[in-house]
Structure 1
Amino acid sequence: MADGLEIAVRARALIGEGPTWDPETERLIWVDILSSRVHLLDTSTGRRTILATMQHVGAAKPRAAGGFVVNLRDGIGLYDAEGAFRWLRRETVPERRGNDAAVGPDGTLWAGTMRYDERQGGGTLSRVHPDGTAVTVVPDATVSNGLGWSPDGRQMYYIDTPTRRVDVFGVTADGGVRDRRTLVDVSDVPGVPDGLTVDADGCVWVAFFDGHAVRRYTPEGKPDRAVEVPVSRPTACAFGGPGLRDLFITTASDGTDPAAEPLAGSVLVLPDAGQGLPQPAFAG
């Protein structure tokens, strides 16, 4: 494949999303939202494990206590290391589901939601504490998506997909955010911005759904690299593998032609793409 891309997992995920490297187990975690599945990949052996969730799952992240925190249709749930489930925060809103999520430097979970019909302003971004209390940070998101923090933890990057922007917040002393502004407007780029990750240089890598590419932007918002992928719908990206040097890219097959895009829904990897940052585990 072009750009040195390889296939990490050949699959037909409907909406593969949220790749996350778990340094404790040295496994890649990712989800298939509409299939209600959390996937675990041991990259050293190729062994895969699949956890079926009770609802559509927007994201799964490691917990400091072992197991996973999951952003489900009806709220935030916890799986322990043995696979037992309990709700941390249940908040059922008709026609709404959890979407992308990320763990902040302080161990809180930043969880996004969206309506199934993607109605404008129907989603949110909330900061969920280990005890289950939550603060709504963005009350009127539409498709709350990519999240990441600068290497020094002083800025948070955020994508609400239909805005076709990557926004940046200043991080406050207590780990909250303020002063939202636009880092880069990507209206002139094919596709729409979806998930993101931040590398050790402070650059932001953005997957462009319907755009056939992952693009890298400097901390000043300047484009400086594009990785073309052999599928139209890359969804998100994350660094993992030995030394956090490999860029894993999840993709979606929903709405694609299997004959034209046989790799849609697979997880792709770009070896030695750059230097990633360690991702914290959820403190709950």
Structure 2
Amino acid sequence: MRAQVAEVAVREWASLGEGATWDPATGRLIWVDILACRVHTYDPASGRRTVMTTEQHVGAAKPRAGGGLVVNLQEGVGLYDTDGVFSWLARRPVPGRRGNDAAVAADGALWAGTMRYDETAGGGSLSRFAPDGAAIEVFGDVAVSNGTGWSPDGLLMYYVDSPTRRVDVCRMSGELPLDRRPFVTVEPGAGFPDGLTVDAEGCVWVTFWDGARLCRYTPRGDLDRTLELPVRRPTACAFGGPGLRDLYITTARTGLSRPHPLSGSLLVVPDAGEGMPSAAFGG
């Protein structure tokens, strides 16, 4: 196997880049800068970029089935239509709390996480939002809700609450996860698991905040591959590009006294593997 090296897709000075998401309908990579209230898009075929500013901190932005975006904001989940007009899907402001990472399941539901700004244990949650806005709180005792993804057959869900230093796995029963248990546990000093994606072979790719790396785990939880990165704080990853073979990685520079020159940029590992098509939010 040839050496896999991360390259620069978009050189950017994002404070807290997050939420890498491939939109197959437009052939673009969507990602956010949470603290700058910005949603970025990048078309690797043309090099074209766009930047949209939101009114609040934005933890994630995902494509909608009919066009536009669903966004996980400071005060709840909102919608942008194709003309950029905004409306709330579910507004639930809680002082000191904001939206963080999110994911869309195969059925078109949005799974959106929250966290307190001070990262207090139990101050965050993970909720499932149906396309009509009906919401169910899935996990309520969360500190920093992060990566969420599903196995290719949809029978398993993977989930990260970063301060626990674990990637957990759950058995899906209908629309909800059951039997949450540790899938991977990380030793102190190795960084914190952050965003994740699941590839076509059912392996789980995890970024490590303060770990300067990205790891691939087999469906049994065995470490299969480690990709060292030039930046200390990678935050999320997603497959995109032709054949969903390029792995895009968002990064952050917030909190670093001497960030690497590429901290905050969007990175890419060409031909890293094979991803799964991502679903669009059904609302």
Which TM-score band applies after superposition, normalised by the shorter structure?
Answer: over 0.9
Post-superposition shift, 1:132? 1.1
Give unmatched runs, 5+ long, in structure 1. Answer: none
Query: 2: distance between equivalents of 1:257 and 1:7?
Result: 22
Q: Are the aligned partners of 2:5 and 2:227 in contact in 1 as well (CA < 8 Å)?
A: no
Post-superposition shift, 1:189? 6.2
Indicate yes or no: 2:268 matched with 1:269. yes
Post-superposition shift, 1:177? 1.2
Q: Are the aligned partners of 1:102 and 1:110 in contact in 2 as well (CA < 8 Å)?
A: yes
Aligned to 1:230: 230
Post-superposition shift, 1:3? 3.3
Query: 2: distance between equivalents of 1:266 and 1:274?
Result: 21
The TM-score with structure 2 as length reference comes to 0.97
Query: 1: distance between equivalents of 2:217 and 2:189?
Result: 13
Aligned to 2:256: 256
Aligned to 1:60: 61
Q: Are the aligned partners of 1:5 and 1:270 in contact in 2 as well (CA < 8 Å)?
A: yes
Query: 1: distance between equivalents of 2:218 and 2:14?
Result: 31
The TM-score with structure 1 as length reference comes to 0.97
Post-superposition shift, 1:117? 0.3
Aligned to 1:279: 278
Query: 2: distance between equivalents of 1:187 and 1:69?
Result: 35
Indicate yes or no: 2:198 matched with 1:198. yes
Aligned to 1:99: 100
Post-superposition shift, 1:45? 1.1
Change over 3 Å in CA distance of 1:223–1:263 after alignment to 2: same
Aligned to 2:52: 51
Could you tell me which amino acid in structure 2 is paired with residue 68 of structure 1? L
Could you tell me which amino acid in structure 1 is paired with residue 146 of structure 2? N
Post-superposition shift, 1:250? 0.4
Query: 2: distance between equivalents of 1:87 and 1:130?
Result: 13
Q: Are the aligned partners of 2:4 and 2:272 in contact in 1 as well (CA < 8 Å)?
A: no
Query: 1: distance between equivalents of 2:197 and 2:187?
Result: 19
Q: What's the RMSD between the two structures over aligned residues?
A: 1.1
Q: Are the aligned partners of 1:191 and 1:211 in contact in 2 as well (CA < 8 Å)?
A: yes
Post-superposition shift, 1:190? 1.2
Give the 5 Å matches for 1:134-153: 134-153=135-154
Q: Are the aligned partners of 1:194 and 1:235 in contact in 2 as well (CA < 8 Å)?
A: yes
Post-superposition shift, 1:5? 1.7
Post-superposition shift, 1:200? 0.4
Query: 1: distance between equivalents of 2:5 and 2:98?
Result: 35
Query: 2: distance between equivalents of 1:168 and 1:107?
Result: 20
Query: 2: distance between equivalents of 1:98 and 1:255?
Result: 19
Aligned to 1:79: 80
Post-superposition shift, 1:188? 5.0
**Percent same amino acid at aligned positions?**
64
Query: 2: distance between equivalents of 1:180 and 1:227?
Result: 27
Could you tell me which amino acid in structure 1 is paired with residue 110 of structure 2? L
Query: 2: distance between equivalents of 1:250 and 1:121?
Result: 26
Indicate yes or no: 2:229 matched with 1:241. no
Query: 2: distance between equivalents of 1:235 and 1:191?
Result: 11
Query: 2: distance between equivalents of 1:4 and 1:193?
Result: 20
Give unmatched runs, 5+ long, in structure 2. Answer: none
Query: 2: distance between equivalents of 1:184 and 1:19?
Result: 22
Could you tell me which amino acid in structure 2 is paired with residue 149 of structure 1? W
Structure 1 runs of 4+ with >4 Å offset: none
Q: Are the aligned partners of 1:110 and 1:127 in contact in 2 as well (CA < 8 Å)?
A: yes
Post-superposition shift, 1:257? 4.2
Query: 2: distance between equivalents of 1:147 and 1:94?
Result: 25
Aligned to 1:4: 5
Could you tell me which amino acid in structure 2 is paired with residue 281 of structure 1? A
Q: Are the aligned partners of 1:3 and 1:228 in contact in 2 as well (CA < 8 Å)?
A: no
Change over 3 Å in CA distance of 1:189–1:215 after alignment to 2: farther
For structure 1, which segment, 188-197 or 122-131, has the greater mean C-alpha deviation from structure 2 after superposition? 188-197
